[in-house]
Amino acid sequence: MLEYLWAFIIGGAICAVGQILIDFTKLTPARILTGFVVAGVLLSALGLYKPLIEFAGGGATVPLTGFGHLLAEGIRKAVDEKGWLGILSGGLTASSAGITAAMLFGLAAAAIFKPKDK
């Protein structure tokens, strides 16, 4: 039960940082989202994100920083297996299931619901 609490606290804290950036800076949402992905890559490269995932579970893997970590780990694994060519293929290979799911759910939502004109 405690692991769910920590996942909620850590995931909420990451999202709260994003909300603070939206509310108190002039950064666009696209820059904030990109910054979170890059932060996940950098924290993964420094070896700091994996312990956070082991501690917080889904609270650390679900936000965009977790996507950055997934890309970095995919590239690291592909470089070990394929050499330098893994830089080009590793990130997409590691994240392909999540990207495909997002595309299919988006397509299903677009087919089911009609947008309202403003």
Tens of each residue's pLDDT in the chain, 118 residues: 889 999 999 999 999 999 999 999 999 999 999 999 999 999 999 999 999 999 999 999 988 999 999 999 999 999 999 999 899 999 989 999 999 999 999 999 999 998 777 7
Q: Structure pTM?
A: 0.82
- CB burial of residue 103 (10 Å; 0-12, 13-18, 19+): exposed
State whether residue 45 is helix, strand or coil. Answer: helix
